Amino acid sequence: MIAVVLLACSRPVAAAQAAPEAEAQQALTAWLLLWDAGKYDESYDGLAEHAKKDVSRAQWLQYWTNVRKPLGKVVSRKLYEAKHVDSLPTIPDRDGAMIQYVSSFETKSGALETIGMVHERDGVWRVAAYIVK
């Protein structure tokens, strides 16, 4: 009986502890809504601190204008891979996640979106890089 009670009590704790890549993907989903809607200013605010050091707000607008805007609206986006990494090459003291989607847009089908996420010191997952091919 005690074992059943202990097992029942431990299940919510296990469910509450999501895999790091799942947490990163959840944060990314909210960020992609901004990115896809052309809210480049707000999406810039959601970038990791080290990304903001490398890319100015004006450069981010230019990137959105040249890379994302021409794709048009998202038709579909399907998770291809999400994996957690213990450290990042450019930020060795932070863990991260690489998330890839196979996506179709109004002007391009079969695109591969690759997004690097970093787990910041404040515990929040933020976008470190976005590439679409």
Work out the widest C-alpha separation in the chain, in whole angstroms.
63
| Segment (H or E) for 61 | helix 57-63
| C-alpha span between 110 and 113 (Å, rounded) | 10
The residue ranges of DSSP E strands in the chain, in sequence order, are: 74-85, 96-105, 111-119, 125-132
Q: Name the residue among 83, 44, 87 with its Cα closest to residue 62.
A: 44
Pairing relationship of beta strands 111-119 and 96-105 according to DSSP bridges: antiparallel
60-73 pLDDT, tens digit per residue, is 999 999 999 999 99
35-44 pLDDT, tens digit per residue, is 999 999 999 9
Structure tokens at 67: 């890379």
pTM above 0.75, yes or no: yes
Please report the domains of the chain, with CATH numbers, ordered by start residue: 19-132 (3.10.450.100)
